[in-house]
Structure 1
Amino acid sequence: MTSKKLQVIATDKAPAAIGPYSQAIKVGDLLFTSGQIPLDASGQLVEGGIEEQTHQVFRNLQAVLEEAGVTLNNVVKATVFMKDMNQFAIVNGIYSSYFGDHKPARSAVEVARLPKDVLVEIELIASTVVE
């Protein structure tokens, strides 16, 4: 049996972890991102509402994926955490604009609170097998 080594993925094009975790971990052919919140690369919360926050989350996710050598087209599963499910249609529209025709499996849940009281957090699982 072959051992699968864990590889830490880190980029300065997305906010540094604000706790004891990595931006992403690669093991075998899979990449697991930590949940990204709407902080810019310097760690500052973006101004604005759900639209601005969701776009920043996707910029962060794209930066982490890029560091691992993949894109949103490699995503196989997304989990979306929202403070208010009434904003789902807005988040869903922005989500769709980033994924286009690619439709990974997804879960979306409303939560009572997110880090730094942001409105949205998204985590991804991607395949690192580029086709």
Structure 2
Amino acid sequence: MSILLHNPENLFPPYRNYSHAVEVKANSNLLFLSGLNGYLPNGIDMPNSFEDQADLIWQHMGALLASAGMSYQNIVSLRFYLAHPSFDEANVKILQKYLGSHAPARTVICCQLLEKKWKLEIEAVAAK
């Protein structure tokens, strides 16, 4: 499978762990991950801190990716829903922790989430 990043020089420079566009060539498997949040395995409780919720979400994503024979490096698109703009820098630090230099397409949206205790929800698309 071939993944091509598109960051033309006539656009503004890409952010950390971000590409303006990501192209996936034909004959690929695509995996669409639903919006995930930081519930513990019991499906009821979740940590209070943004960082702990985010770590759990990334662990959930890792398990889903592995179930499809993929890893974080197969992620081609991410959509983040933050409960407050003040979480942005912490979100980027956790993103760098899990992705290293990998730079998928991504969008960050600040909004009221479905549950008050949620601080973050993440959707993803992966390909191999």
Q: Which runs of 4+ in 1 moved over 4 A?
A: none
Using CA pairs below 8 Å that are at least 6 residues apart, which structure has the higher relative contact order? 2
Alignment-mate amino acid for residue 49 of structure 1:
S
Q: What is the number of residues matched between the two proteins?
A: 101
**When the two structures are superposed, what TM-score results if normalisation uses the length of structure 1?**
0.72
Residue deviations 1:36-93, cap 9 Å, x none? 1001222133223111111011011111111111011000000000100111001111
Runs of 5+ in structure 2 lacking a partner? Answer: 1-27
- Aligned pairs for 1:26-105 within 5 A: 29-105=29-105
> Which deviates more, 80-89 or 113-122?
113-122
**When the two structures are superposed, what TM-score results if normalisation uses the length of structure 2?**
0.74
Partner of 2:121: 121
Task: Tell me the C-alpha RMSD between the 2 structures.
Answer: 1.4
Contact 1:83 1:114 in 2 (8 A): no
